[in-house]
Structure 1
Amino acid sequence: MKKRELAIITLKKEAGEVYANQIRYFLGDNIKINLYSFEEGNITFFDEKLIILSVKLKYEEISTMCASDTQIVIPKLTFEKSSFKKIAKVDKCETVFVYNLSKSMALETITLIYRLGMEIPNIMPCYPEIKKIPPNSVVLTPGEELVIQADNCEIIDLGYRIMDLGCITDIAIKLNLEHLIKEDLLKKFIDKIIPTSYITQKLLVTQTKLENQFDFLLSAIDEGIICVSHDGMVQFYSHVAREILSLNDNEMIGKYIGDYIKSFDFNQIKNKEITHLQKLIKVNNIDINLDIRYTNINVFSGFIIKIAKFYQTEKKQAKLRAQLLDSGNVSKYNFDDILGISEDILNTKKIAYKMAQSNSSILIIGESGTGKELFAQSIHSSSSRKQGPFVAVNCSTFQEGLLQSELFGYDEGAFTGAKKGGKIGLFELANNGTIFLDEIGEMDLNSQANILRVIQEKQIRRVGSDRVIDVDIRIIAATNRDLRKLVCDNKFRKDLFYRLNVLPLKISPLRERVEDVFLIFDSFKKNLDVHFNLSDEVIAVFKSYRWEGNIRELRNLAEYCSYIDKKVIAVSDLPEYMLESIETKDYCSEILKKNNKLPIPNFKRDLNDYMFVLRKINEAYILKQRIGRRKLYEYAVEEKIFLTEQQIRSILLELQKFEFVKVLSGRGGSIITEKGRNFLKQN
């Protein structure tokens, strides 16, 4: 039998050998691997049907040198633990340079270091064109030999990056060799690499690439996974789920899930198109986080249930809570710290100061990076509550159950793993002061209801307690989202919106107050103790640039320019993303325009059946009419389209799952959504 062939294309031959050895570790000699490298110059036409290309920038060139049905995979990379330990030893106070063969490759390596959780405040890319690194610097390199001047520098070789587990899995599936990947090999590999937190999310959220991968990824996941069919019958469950539920190996297979998790009514999801549900339940007197998601892939259609012990989930949040509570709970800034001479910012400060004299709730609205917390602290510092605490909490940081225990606290014994003596909540900590709820638009609906009660009753109740506690607090909320739209989408409570929006304060983005840009930029230069000037061309760029990241982006740019080590910053010295955006006023919009076509979902039936249903519902929408399954069936008979009424029902449910239509209850019929109308136009 002829072996399956795979091509690996890299810049350097040595890197290709690393990837080849990694693939052979899992697939053995069942595959023929052909190595090509730009270093050797042996790039020619490729007969292989699967190509691993390590250089993203070479994609267009390589795609012209192979057959139309060839699949090209750009591997996701990670580091071995031994490499990560070297990075961890670097002094975080020093400026660290990351060297690679090009600027884009150096930036990719920096992104990977951050993605794997390593916090290095001052990290800069370097590459051959830079020519020289400042003496006595620390330089990280992923297996590349430096060809630039680096006097007395500490060179730390991290070794070549390796492909992550998801990429190996993808290769095995494309070659129909997934059966060769054994559990013991997976465990050894996982012990060797840096674990990434996205594996669980990839299993439960990303449905387009699941296919057979989850079967052998489960050993790397520390939550319990249960696969359940539409009728609630268990198809599969992981060893972690077995341990949490105290089951024997295959005891639950083929049985109804409700017989084993009795504290939740699975009729809520059974045979219904509920795509996502989260809840805190009790199983065997243990508090369990329950996360249910609907999925539909080639080999499985039903519900994937994730279960995890609540106290274990809470431990993962321990560092975040520690940082939050150790912050001092005091405001550090006042209105004098808010720089700006534009009419916009002066008027906003004037309005905010007047709001500070009130005790009503304030809703600060502004893009990310505009300084919403700076305004919140300044308002507190200018209010009658300035001697009281200022407690800030980011509502997007915590899961639903954890957010409520953080905000309201809990009593001893409220749940398994609860701290002895209980825990004071953030609302209690903010008593006689101000609580700042950042990213309020990300808060779940249950927590919103509890917040509303605090505003109305001025009382809180700890989790697991029957006692109410009086609190005297002022709430300042902030968001970068359109809360009115969230209210219309039933994702934010209307009554809470009007309770928070008593005193709305809008902060203009930096691009609307260009006269403030250079004043703020100069203050950052002063804080960094650097001295350089901007060329006239750069000044013009600053004035026309959109500053999507606002003041935060401006500060990052000041720090970036400080490392260039030039007296005058020219346009060519600016970061690559700024240079790319000079030609367009809205770079993000241009990118979105290129990618705004809706993909065709993996429908169960022929696409024409769905287009027929969408077309008829759209015609009814134009006539401001509702249309039901029976009428759609009659249209199908008229147009000689062979669809039963039951098949039309299934089509409607699928279209609703992809948000193309909304199926109303009773005799309400179905209506097409804006997304559905766009999909109809495109197809």
Structure 2
Amino acid sequence: MKNIAVISWDPLAGRFYGKQVKDLFGDQVSVQVYSVRDGSVNQLPRRRYDLYMTSTDAFESGNDLRQYLPLDAEITEIELTFLWDVVRRLQKLPAGSRVLFVNLSDKMSREAVSRLNQLGVNQLQFDLYHPGCPEPDMALYDYVITPSEQRYVPEGAKEIIDIGQRVCTSATMTEAALKLGLEDLLETPRFHHYQEIVATNTYSFDRLFNRSRRLESQFDILMDILDEGLVGVNEKGEVFACNKKLEQITQVSNSLALHRRASDVYPFIPFKQCLKSKEAIPAKVVRAGGTNLTVTVAPVLRGGVCLGAFATVQRFSDAEQRQNELRSQLSPKGYRAKYTFENVIGDSPAIRRTIEILKKMAATSLPVLLIGETGTGKELFAHAVHNASPRAQGPFVAINCAAMPENLLESELFGYEDGAFTGARRGGKPGLFEFAHQGTLFLDEVEGMSPALQCKLLRVLQEHEIMPVGGNRIIRVDVRIVAATNEDLEQRVEEGSFRRDLYYRLNTLPALIPPLRQREGDLLLLIEHFRKKSGVEFTLSPELKQMLLAHQWRGNIRELRNVVEYFSYTGSQVITPEDLPPTFHYLPAGSTNGRLSPKVSVSAAVPASSPEPVSPPPQLSEEQWMVLQLIHQAARQGRPAGRDSLLTAARQMNRPLSQQQVRRLMSELAQLGYLRIERGRGGSHLTEQGLQLLSAHVADDQL
């Protein structure tokens, strides 16, 4: 048994073609149908089919088709026609009748009507309609003809004639049989009957006719959709084709230009030079009608003979605008910011202050560095900054720098040229910097960049220029950078894993996103927000509410959302501590922030107001005791306790320390559970355990 894959644009049409093939070939074939429109073509298995049959409307070009098939795949193009019964029925309609032909697309409508004309249905006045066209005045039409696409027929039709799906030509079926090695089927009664009922001619004529018809249809469509002026001349320099865009640019009516010498109508286009030299004339700027135009001319050659030439014309000022418009078409791929500051849930002083600061930062074009723990919503704030900026109408492109290998990240950011590396897409690919032109590029986990990429990013920030991988051309870009990190970049700079100059470039406008434990009052608001999104009604027991309010939320909002979603699946109307997820481990807000505390099961969780007994004081170094005392004294005096203040205080005590020593001492104390290190102006604080340790070590008057 032979295996056949039928590939079409519309799934309904594909199933119809597949049934035709199965009915004609019988048990000798197995047929599977795939469609571009419903995405099932992406599920084509890796195993090779004996034959791939594709409809003419499925793909724009052969290259689009080839990406789904093996390199040596056997392919037959599905050419379509009508049954003779349909042709005879339409030939009986009154001559001069005005008909609206309805099909899935403009291309399919053109092909179908062209085929009917060639088969002798040429007494009717056809107008074309497909989804997306302006609604027609149905009172103008005597009939609506459609190949089983009545779902798209506009309301108000006087009479609808359903001519059924177009059928595969006998030439298509013959070619399929030959390629499958099933020549014997050609002599069966089924094949003879099929050849009699379908309106098709000889095999060679059908192929030539279909090719000519498709090219003519494609040329008409191309002329209409081009965003550049296009004009074609024959070997005598006479205009035989020009599109509407050219008419708009030159203000010369196409009806006046056709069949006249181009030198008389468009004297600024060097057609005569091109026809004489038989060589293309590259883009050049000319002046016409007080406007600068870019003109390119190319000859049409066959066997060394010049049959004519084509020229493209565009306004010089349109070049960059068109490039930006093309980039904006990437928005369906997600290159648009989805959130604003209105999407931020919370009313705590900490979050309101953060929003106030970021709104001011958004008004500039300077880089913004978002600093915050994992799960605090840094990407949401990046979206909001973009939407509050003057670049809000531009693209918003996001990428996680730590999620890709260095070589892949480089090609994603800067793009690559054709043949830059093995597996590179033919023709190259633009990078995210180009896609983000006149918009914002969000670099999440920017600390994950390699030193080499950090150097390239620094150059972009300084020069606003990029060079694609494997390229030798400079591309200017206008991109605003918003970066995010959940690590201490200053420490990474000291360690040598992050460039100091890049750090100060990104740190132009730093903003600290507060963790959930510092957003007093926001927790219950967020729980209610996530509950409404889940669509489930439940309440929290007082005991659980107190436990959640006292929890440290190391995963911040991401952790909270997961917990609330878990609540929605418990089926309980009142959620109690017993309904907490099995992976939830109660960690009071006063616990350490520098390391994971021993996990406590829910059933054994103790309230935050009942601290566990303090272990006997360990043997700490004099420097560690000094750091604990200085941080405690700063807290009592209402001052922040950062590294700089500790360095100053140590020098005043004649115990000078280096930046590296202070960082190491604080890290060690945090790992022991005595210190909670906070980013930002709040400084670091002693934990409950650290306070108890210090109380046991020094006298009360020293405290």
TM-score where L is the length of structure 2: 0.38
Pick the structure with greater CA Rg.
2
